[in-house]
Amino acid sequence: LAKLQPGVRSSLERIVGAEHLRVDPDALASYGVDALGQGHPADLVVLPGSTEEVAAILRLCNDARVPVVPRGAGTGYTGGAVPVRGGVVLSLERFTHILEIDIANLLAVVEAHVITGDLQAAVERVGLFYPPDPASLSQSTIGGNIAECAGGPRAFKYGVTRRYVLALEAVLATGEIIHTGSKAVKNVVGYDLTQLIIGSEGTLAVVTKAVVRLVPRPAQQATLGASFDSIEAAVSAIAALLAAGALPATLELIDADTLAAVADYAGRALAPPGTAALLIIEADGLPAGVAEELSRVESACRGAGATRIETAVEAAERAELWRVRREMSLAVRALAPLKINHDVVVPKGRIPALFALIERLRREHGLRIPCFGHAGDGNIHVNIMVDPANASAIAAARRAERTLFEGVVALEGSITGEHGIGFSKAPYLSLELSSAEIALMKRVKQAFDPNGILNPGKIFPD
């Protein structure tokens, strides 16, 4: 790959106009970091205003072999939008329009930089629902959600982003504009390029537009908090409520260390003293169904030994509970300057084994590791809190991280369920994928991006 030459820079300026280039050092730095502050400055930031401009930028950079890094809101956790090899950051920030909400066909057509929460609010106003709900939804973009295949609490019942993408407009590294999928909900014409691009972390194509699938807005939602004095009891409550036929929208688990952090940060205790796990369970649907589901959930939790159960049906109570849940990342961040955040996944029955492993890591390495996450999916956010100025703590955290990843793979889980590989997890790819699988993925990458200009240094270890 090549350095950005002055000739390429002036051609980029001709494509987008000087007012849509950023070259000052502050902008180059701020467009080069992710949510954890992992960063590398871009050589140039370009803000195209149309798909044709995106295509022209890619064609030019491909010819000049200059790296291009697509960027949404920069809320990623694994450095996906960080230009680790320099080059051009291509921000989609001018792609902000909801182009269509089609009530009859339960779909919306959106540009890449529509904020997730704005799409949700817009479709809810007309009685529809866009389920994917990453905790970052007030900032993250649909393009970034597609590139990372974002999930959230509601994934338990509704599934992650990939279930809600019917079609994409995207631009290949070589500048061709492609349209994958269609507005029809069934489509088996050829390989499923839509699904291949989803979760590809900006390494296969730049997404400019998406057709997303919607569902009717649930008429009612109600939330129940259940506290337990052990992780095992909480997990057995989950098994019991599912066996009782309940299918809640969310099944979130918060551990004792996180509860303590929230109490400090938000000034309120979410659970009684001695709680090892708090489950936040939300039922949604038609009112009679919600009432029946909550009653089954409640008796399953009681049967599993819940020490306290609280129900929030009013919108304000629910909103407050979910606000605290969304701020959990911030509460945990207040514990130490660096949060090494891992979103590991195990089959949900093995959550107690995962927590036993985390307890061992806390003990052996003397680390604070608050955990919370989507228990219904077995997807737990494991936050290793350290002071980056403390070299021995960092070394201990790195050792703990490797043991964690080896442990989840041994439990037949995955090292990331939502945040992707980016560059920070690339060294661990081979813990989960064989060399044949990695080689096949590299051949796919080569087919999409023959010169390797699109988001280089991501997913695959050097």
Residues near ligand FAD (CB under 6 A): 34-35, 69-77, 80-81, 92, 112, 134-136, 140-141, 143-145, 147-148, 150-152, 201-202, 206-207, 329, 418-419, 455
Would you say 145 or 180 has its CB closer to ligand FAD?
145
Q: Residue 249 or residue 396: which is nearer to ligand FAD going by CB?
A: 249
379 neighbors 151 (Cβ within 8 angstroms): yes
Can you read off the two tokens belonging to residue 2?
Answer: 């090549």
Residue 436's CB: how many other CB atoms inside 10 A? 8
CB of 298 to ligand FAD, least distance (A): 26
Closest CA to 185 of 162, 165, 158: 165
Residue pair 373/380 in contact (Cβ under 8 Å)? The answer is: yes
Smallest gap, in angstroms, from Cβ of residue 143 to ligand FAD? 3
At 36, the amino acid letter reads L
HSE-up of residue 459 (Cα within 13 Å, Cβ side): 21
Of the pair 137, 240, the CB lying nearest ligand FAD is at 137
Closer by beta carbon to ligand FAD, 201 or else 449: 201
Closest CA to 384 of 424, 431, 333, 428: 333
Structure tokens at 68: 């291009």
Let me know if 383 is exposed, middle or buried by CB neighbors in 10 A (0-12, 13-18, 19+). Answer: buried
Question: Least distance to ligand FAD from the beta carbon of 246, Å?
Answer: 23
Q: Which is nearer to ligand FAD, 296 or 425 (CB)?
A: 425
Residue showing tokens 């269509």: 100
Chain centroid to CA 70: how far? 16
Q: Which one, of 120, 183, 143, 165, lies nearest residue 51 by Cα?
A: 143
Nearer to ligand FAD among residue 294 and residue 351 (C-beta): 351
Given the complex with ligand FAD, which of 149 and 386 has the nearer CB atom? Answer: 149
Residue 194 CB, nearest approach to ligand FAD (Å)? 13
Shortest Cβ distance from residue 24 to ligand FAD (Å)? 20
d(CA 165, CA 193): 11
Q: How far is the CB of 113 from ligand FAD (least distance, A)?
A: 7
The smaller minimum CB distance to ligand FAD, of residues 355 and 423, is found at 423
Distance CA 355, CA 381 (A): 11
> Looking at beta carbons only, is 132 or 218 nearer to ligand FAD?
132
- Helix/strand/coil percent split, the chain, to 5: 40, 25, 35
- Please, what is the minimum distance in Å from the beta carbon of residue 442 to ligand FAD? 17
Is the Cβ–Cβ distance between 69 and 88 less than 8 Å? Answer: yes
Least separation in angstroms between residue 330's CB and ligand FAD is 7
Among residues 400, 277, 261, 384, which one has the least CA distance to residue 332? 261
In the complex, what is the shortest distance from the CB of residue 54 to ligand FAD, in angstroms, rounded to a whole number? 9
CA dihedral defined by 325, 326, 330, 331, rounded to 10 degrees? Answer: -10
Q: Which residues of 189-211 are buried (b: 16+ CB within 10 A; e: fewer)?
A: eeeebbeebbbbbbbbbbbbbbb
Q: Which is nearer to ligand FAD, 236 or 416 (CB)?
A: 416
Closest CB 351 distance from ligand FAD, rounded Å: 18
Q: For residue 268, what are its two tokens? A: 């309120």
111 neighbors 452 (Cβ within 8 angstroms): no
- Is beta strand 88-91 parallel, antiparallel or unpaired with respect to 68-71? parallel
Q: Please, what is the minimum distance in Å from the beta carbon of residue 245 to ligand FAD?
A: 27
Nearer to ligand FAD among residue 92 and residue 404 (C-beta): 92
- State which residue, 156 or 236, has the beta carbon closest to ligand FAD: 156
Q: Minimum distance between the CB of residue 47 and ligand FAD, rounded to whole angstroms? A: 13
